[in-house]
Chains A and B, each alone.
Chain A
Amino acid sequence: MAYFPRIGPFYDPQNEQQLYGGQDGRLRSKGAEAKLVNGLSHGVDQTTSSHSRHFDGSWTNIVQDGGNLFYSEPSSRSESAYHSRQASYQSMTSHHSRQASYQSTGSHQSSSSDSPRQQFHRQSSQNSNYSNNSHRSSSSHRSSHGVSPIVDSYSHGVRQSPRETGTRQADQGYAYAARNSLDHGGAVVASNKPVVKPASGNSVTSNNSYGQSGKRKSVIMVPNTANVSDISRSHGVELCEKLFGIKLCHHKHKPPRPNGVNVDHSLRDRKIIVQGVVENTDADHCGNINRGDMLVGLNDLDLTWVNMDDMLRQAASMPQVKLTFQSPVVIGPKSSTPPPVPPHIPLHHRCTPPPRPPPPGSWSETRLDLVATTTGESRPVVMDSIGHYLVAVMYLTMAGQSENSKVDVVYQFPHEDNKLVELRGLCLTLAGMLPDVTSNTAKMTCVQYRGRNNNIVYWKGEQDVWLLALPEESVPAFYVHNIFSDLIQVVQVLYGSVQRAFHDRELHSKLDDLVTLTLYRVLQPGVHTQTVPYCSPLEPVLVDCLSGIRWLRLAADDKISCDEILNEFEAQDFCDIEGIDQDERRKYGVLGSCLFYQEYVLCSHLCPADLKDVHLYLKYHHILALVARQPVDDLVLWEEVYPTHLCHARGPDIPGYREPRARWFLLVVSMRHFLLCTLLEAGSYAAPVKGQAPMFQFLTDQSRDTLAQLDLDDTDIELQCSERLFSVQSGPCLVSINSEKQAYLSGNVSQTTATPSPRKVSEDADRVSISTSIHTPNVAPDRLSVHTPNGAPLIHRQGSRISFGSNDSSGSMHSLNKIQVKTPLKTASESESVNRSFSRENGRINCDIKLTRGLHNQLLHYMTYDSFEGVLVSPSPHDLSAVQASPTHKHVLYNFYASSLRIRETFANRLSKTRNTDARSEGQCGALMEEGVMFTCQLGPGADTKRPPTVGRYWVIGRHMPEGHEMYVCLEDGSPQSLLELAFSCWFGLT
């Protein structure tokens, strides 16, 4: 079983009373200590921080008055010019949040101490006061306490809004706070660049404080060498805990993997993350080191896992050590609509994004971030690259049409007019008229402009038409349909309906992003966006058209680990949950979550329809490509979604059960190449949310911690993933067309006399896999032109799937995983064939077959797709890029993808046709279909120029299984039929 570090204990029953009130049942809170009073004399209230229990200070009372709770404090404290409510982030060591520096101070009130200042909100209270929150630029809190930890806070310009200095009407203040907090709904910002803004006090042009980067903070500490017995022998993590009282996420050094994956490399990139602080140590007292912070420096030197041991040992002998931490950035989403006042105020400020005034022009700023961040290029560059093509996305309305004006254009991209925009009247007319002619609405129009074809696809609403026009030479017609239907789904999932998305002008900038990224992705497949070069320009197109999700199949143990990590997260049974109010603990119900590594799904606890929604959302916002390209740590997305199967394509109600009326939210948190996507529900068993829902900060933090668990110790998932992706493995071994066919049998090839049934062969293949791989290590690899440097035939599987609904089905999981642990199909099964498939000469009977390793290899390329189980490509593009495939083979691959695309189109058309014609027999719409094409090519003249050039023949065969499973195989002509069947039944072994 996997090892799961316990994160805690944070719940302290002894101190519960301190927090949850006295005998009178009233809530009590503790005032801040003088030691935390900073130079700017901001009073800091540790309102509900569990940390506050460590201080012995005066208790302030919460006064209950008419259903509202007020917070009063001693008059001595009210003398300070600012009454601030500390967001308690700094002191929340026990709460393992890794939130950015949300230090929001209360409004500076000059009123008397008994003014209502802090409201402790219950769900029912509506007419409440709420103290305004603002960001406070906190500079150098200096504490006079004990060993005097010095805190340098490098937080970026936090200023108070002018409104805060204005009228102190609590209701207004609340409304403002609420609005600001809502302004974070729905935007994506991810950045590593710190943007330092000048602190300008009460300036009018105040801006959000925490925006762009993780806050760096330094703490000067005195190493407590008394605890350490043997410095030279202690481990870094251990040392850190003993010297400073900082518990780090434990990471065990692993022995180097036999396959040579660079462990050091992964170590170097791994963050050192604070797991917690030991109570009553300097670190605890200073209150500035939080769970989730990254320890990045020691005495201004970079600290990594590699040098940690040495540096900490040195530090032990120093009188004073400066530790630098970085807290991760959380960027809240933004919303465009002015939100209605939510029904209740969150009790804990840190559960909501800090309010920030909406600065003018902030839209363009966020937009720029989305496009620039995900593509890695600036927006003009992206727009420029799209601008080379004649493309258009238009949303037109038939209402209020008039000549020579553009009132019919609701939305248009690109914003400059082009030829296609001029033609919009044509499309409107066709969309409106064709039902009269053909009783269907228009689907696609092909127009020719300057000798180039352009395909325009339609979506038609009652009064409106949405058009997407793409050049045919870059995007084949079939692909356009796919893109468009996906795009429609993304828009529906994000905005509820297409009409709403386009008619709401506020959403246009978000649509711009979506459209820009979509066009950027489809017009340049595999050019900039992929880390792995595709072996053929059409491969991404085909993979895209298959609309499957690519799974990365982990070994059973790792898979279980992932599942359990997600399970724990989904259960919302967090050990530090006592830190927050009961009503806030499970504010949302978790419908499920899924975990992506780069572009691949590792495990998913979402239902397939939801997973598809999430996948499309990530794909069309270029986020998958982003995490595939580079590690991303600071990405947090929060969107309200309208899941397809709940909102758009509701199935028939199951008797006795109805889907709840609720609202759904999607939370995406990234860590390195991982993405954790959680689908949340508000309204069924969770509290209903009205208006714009703020990001649930607590869950965000938990997501981060969940992701951090992946990176620990025994569950080193990332290493496993990269191993899966990039190391040499066996799958169906494939050859290049040029490989000279020469029949000689290697020593261990045993001829069997019977031709087994395909299914049986695949099972046999699995069973014999290990022994054969031992027997035939790199046998005579020189026949194969796909070589590893050491000559071993290179193959591997790239994506596959396992999806198990929940951990409850672990029994079946084991049984399913039984055959595929780490050795997926190392088959070298030989059998005698009845006859060669499609062979013109029938005479040859006794031919040996090998699906994989060996000499007489005839399987060239392989691809499988299942609507549920995802896509598998073998050999992976990475394999092919690692070796220099011959030009002929490149052509073969190109043709493979091109013809697979057309075969796929045939399947799709036939399926839709049968579905249309006999709707009554719905069950059997997916019949078994197979289509094959044989290509001939001239192989190189070879050494002997006198001989006529040999002609190579190869088949591309696609098969559609009734269950919606599709496979595409490329094999040499004359391959035995049983090889083909083996290839098609490979799928059984791979799942």
Chain B
Amino acid sequence: MAAYVFCLTTSGGVPIFARNRSGLKSLPFPVIGSLNGVHMFANSHDVQLVSTVTDDSKIVWKSFYDSVTLIAVAEDDHADDCHMMNFIGYVLSIMVLLLGREDVKAIKNVERFKKDVRVCFPMIDRLIERCDLLTFGDTVNAVDTIASSENTVLQSFLDAFADCAASPYGCLMVHGKVAVATRKWWSLTSEELVLLSMLVSSLTQCSSRDIPVFLPNLSPEVPHRLMTFQLTRNVEVCVLCGPSPGLTELEEEVGRFWRASYDLLRSILLVHPTNFSISSTLDTSLLGFVLVNTETNRCLCSIFPHGNDDDPLEEHERRHILRSYYKHVVGNFFSSKVEGSGKGPSEFTHVAMDTYLTTDTHKCYAMLSPPHQIYALYKPSIPTFAMRSITEKTLFALIKDKGVQL
């Protein structure tokens, strides 16, 4: 995945920040400068430099607001450019989320901005290292959820707490994945949903925090307060508020509202690596899946559908395969929430509904069933012709289940 992200001012080419994946040497400035230079050179000729591919890497350039230029270098996974553009868009949105659009649009003092932008580094680093994440939200542009049978009960706890905080926006996160959220929270755009989840999980654990955030789509210029309270380890409740109530006021209320839910929270934590608990069982050949609802911007992913099994495919391999398969399919055969992903499929005159890929180590199957999309990973032992019906059964078993809200 992304190995380097560089940010420079568009007008002067002043470097704002450079982040790289851990383990890589950082590049000297002259190299960054010439990477930016070619982009500026193209711009001066009315040409947009979009991307460059080398044998194993891909480099994309993009300028935003005529103010900042972002350059990303990543391992080339032969996916459509739209995924890299999506990634770059997230980097920008992180800056907007934490600094506000005004500041990013017009950088008054570059030195000061360089200092301000440091607050974004944890999130950007997390995005760069995203192949180590258990979540897929940033790739599929939909927020990760965790589905358990306790969700309906927890919903009432959350609604009550959000009322208390005088905010319609409330959400309960388990391991960075949304368990339940208020209706208004779900009305946020997919980008905001993903960013807020990422923000919460990228920060070091603490009992409570109060962070000003600019919602990149709803209120990019007026900050809101994001208050989070840790209920138990890896479980946090978040609310988006205006100026009141204060953090201390609300912190006192947390115990009163959530103490009764402790057992529920314990049980939902057990769901964690599997990410779902449903009544029916899934096929044993299934090694993992990504289920996306493009209307509600939610996705459910699992790489342990049967708990821990002893398949030769390692956990990170499964994540990597599913991620790259998603990128391979979207923009190639399917379109989805990722911006620009419709370009590739639009070259076909008919709509692709199913696709699969088999190799000697695994098999993948993707199916469109609007508004749902499922990308499933199977053992190589599954017969190819059986994948379609099994995928379909899996899809319906998941979306029909009560505990799964997609």
Interface residues of A (CB under 8 A from B): 419, 422-423, 425-426, 429-430, 433-434, 436-438, 440-450, 453, 835-840, 842, 891-892, 894-895, 898-899, 902, 905-906, 909-910, 913, 916, 927-937, 953, 977, 980
B57 touches A440 (CB 8 A): yes
Query: What is the chain B residue whose CB lies nearest that of A737?
Result: B350
Min C-beta distance of A973 to chain B, whole Å: 9
| Least Cβ–Cβ distance between A454 and chain B, in angstroms | 8
Residues in chain B near residue A906, CB distance under 8 A: 78, 328, 357
B335-373 interface code vs A (CB 8 A; 1 in, 0 out): 000000000000111111111111110000000000000
Is residue B56 contacting chain A, with contact meaning CB distance below 8 A? Answer: yes
Contact B350 A442 (CB under 8 A): no
Q: In the assembled complex, which residues on chain B have CB atoms less than 8 Å from the CB atom of A441?
A: 54-55
Min C-beta distance of A845 to chain B, whole Å = 14
- Report B298-334 CB contacts with A as 1/0, cut-off 8 Å: 0000000000000000000000000000001000110
Q: Does B195 contact A (CB under 8 A)?
A: no
Known: A438-B54, A933-B333. 10 other contacts (CB 8 A): A423-B42, A429-B37, A433-B34, A448-B47, A448-B49, A448-B50, A895-B349, A898-B347, A927-B360, A980-B385
> Which of B47, B55, B389 is within 8 Å of A840, CB to CB?
B389
Q: In whole angstroms, how far apart are the Cα atoms of A425 and B34 in the complex?
A: 12
Q: If the complex has contacts A423-B45, A442-B52, are A898 and B350 also in contact, measured as CB distance less than 8 A? A: no
A949 to chain B, nearest CB (A): 13
Q: Is the CB of B349 within 8 A of A838?
A: no
Q: Shortest distance in angstroms between A386's beta carbon and chain B's nearest beta carbon?
A: 20
Question: CB-CB < 8 A to B355: which residues of A?
Answer: 931-934
B55 — which chain A residues lie within 8 A by C-beta?
440-441, 443, 916
With beta carbons under 8 angstroms apart, the residue of B359, B385, B389 that contacts A927 is B359
Contact across chains for B388 and A840 when beta carbons are under 8 A apart? yes
Given contacts A425-B41, A935-B350, contact A445 B52 (CB under 8 A): yes
Is the pair B56, A916 in contact by a Cβ cutoff of 8 Å?
Answer: yes
In the assembled complex, B31 has its CB within 8 A of some CB on chain A: yes
State the CA gap A937–B349 with chains docked (Å).
9
Q: List 14 A-B contacts (CB under 8 A).
A: A425-B41, A442-B54, A445-B51, A448-B48, A449-B48, A838-B385, A838-B388, A839-B389, A895-B348, A899-B333, A899-B352, A933-B352, A935-B352, A936-B350
What A residues does B73 contact at CB under 8 A?
437-438
A894 touches B349 (CB 8 A): yes
> Which 3 residue pairs spanning A and B have beta carbons closest together?
A838-B388, A448-B48, A934-B354
Is B348's CB under 8 angstroms from A434's CB? no
- Identity of the chain A residue whose Cβ is nearest the Cβ of B391 in the assembled complex: A838
- Which residues of chain B are near A419, meaning CB under 8 Å? 45-47
Q: CA separation between A821 and B59, bound complex, in Å? A: 54
Task: Write the chain A residue with the least CB distance to B37.
Answer: A429
Partner of B45, one of A422, A443, A932: A422
Kindly list chain B residues whose C-beta atoms are within 8 Å of the C-beta of A445: 49, 51-53
Which residues of B sit under 8 angstroms from A437, Cβ to Cβ?
Answer: 4, 27, 31, 35, 57, 59, 73
A450 contacts across to B, CB distance below 8 A: 46
How far apart are the CA atoms of A440 and B52 in the complex, in Å? 12
Q: Is B261 an interface residue (CB 8 A)?
A: no
- Please name all residues of chain A whose beta carbon is closer than 8 Å to the beta carbon of B353 when the two chains form the complex: 934-936, 953
B47 touches A447 (CB 8 A): yes
| B384 within 8 Å of A (CB atoms) | yes
Cβ of B251 under 8 Å from chain A: no
Task: Determine the residue in chain A with the shortest Cβ distance to B50.
Answer: A446
B384 near A930 (CB under 8 angstroms)?
yes
In the complex, what residues of B have CB within 8 A of residue A836's CB? 385
Would A426 and B49 count as touching, CB distance under 8 A? Answer: yes
Whether B38 sits at the interface, judged by CB under 8 Å, is yes
Cα of A898 to Cα of B349 in the assembled complex, Å:
10
Contact A429 B384 (CB under 8 A): no
CB distance from B81 to the nearest CB of A (A): 7
**Contact between chains at A453 and B53 (CB < 8 Å):** no
Does B221 lie at the interface of the complex (its beta carbon under 8 Å from any beta carbon of A)?
A: no
Q: Give bound CA distance, A932 to B52, whole Å.
A: 29
B103 at the interface (CB under 8 A from A): no
Query: Taking A931-B356, A931-B357, A934-B352 as contacts, is the C-beta distance between A838 and B31 under 8 angstroms?
Result: no
What chain A residues lie within 8 Å of B358 (beta carbons)? 928-931
Chain B residues near A916 (CB, 8 Å)?
Answer: 55-56
With contacts A438-B56, A441-B54 taken as known, whether A449 is within 8 angstroms of B354 at the C-beta atoms is no
Indicate if the CB atoms of A935 and B348 lie closer than 8 Å.
yes
B389 touches A438 (CB 8 A): no
**Residue B129 CB within 8 A of the other chain:** no
Residue of A nearest to B49 (CB): A447
In the assembled complex, which residues on chain B have CB atoms less than 8 Å from the CB atom of A930? Answer: 356-358, 384
A922 to chain B, nearest CB (A): 16
CB closest residue in chain A, given B380:
A928
Residues of A within 8 A of B388 (CB): 838-840
Residue of A446, A892, A902 near B332 (CB, 8 A) is A902
**Are B34 and A429 touching (Cβ within 8 A)?**
yes
Give, as a whole number of angstroms, the nearest-CB distance from B51 to chain A.
5
Any A CB within 8 A of the CB of B150 = no
Interface presence of B392 (CB below 8 A):
yes
Specify which chain B residues have a CB less than 8 angstroms from the CB of A932 in the assembled complex. 354-356
Closest to B355 in A: A933
Q: How far is the CB of B324 from chain A (nearest CB, A)?
A: 10
- Contact between chains at B42 and A447 (CB < 8 Å): yes
Contact of A892 among B41, B52, B350 (CB under 8 A): B350
User: How far apart are the CA atoms of A485 and B350 in the complex, in Å?
Assistant: 32
Instruction: Indicate whether A837 sits within 8 Å of B348 (C-beta atoms), given known contacts A434-B52, A447-B49, A934-B354.
Output: no
Chain A residues whose CB sits within 8 angstroms of the CB of B357 once the complex forms: 906, 929-931
A842 touches B47 (CB 8 A): no
Tell which of A423, A899, A928, A931 touches B47, judged by Cβ atoms closer than 8 Å. Answer: A423
CA–CA, A436 to B347, complex, Å? 36
Q: How far is the CA of A838 from the CA of B353 in the complex (A)?
A: 12
Known: A426-B42, A440-B54, A837-B385. A449 touches B356 (CB 8 A): no
Which residue from chain B places its CB closest to the CB of A914 in the assembled complex? B359
Q: Please give me the residue from chain A that is nearest to B367 by CB atom.
A: A934
Given that A442-B52, A445-B52, A935-B350 are known contacts, is A840 also in contact with B333, CB under 8 Å in the complex? no
| Smallest beta-carbon distance B20→chain A, Å | 11
Which of B48, B53, B56, B328 contacts A447 (CB under 8 A)?
A: B48
Given contacts A423-B42, A933-B354, contact A446 B52 (CB under 8 A): yes
B37 to chain A, nearest CB (A): 7
- A838→B389 contact, CB < 8 A: yes
Please give the distance in Å from A247's CB to the nearest CB on chain B.
61
How far, in whole Å, are A835 and B385 apart by their CA atoms in the complex? 9
Q: How far is the CB of B70 from chain A (nearest CB, A)?
A: 15
A residues in contact with B47, CB < 8 Å:
419, 423, 447-449
* Most central of A840, A899, A910 by chain B CB within 10 Å: A899
Roughly how many angstroms separate A787 CA and B356 CA in the complex, as a whole number?
33
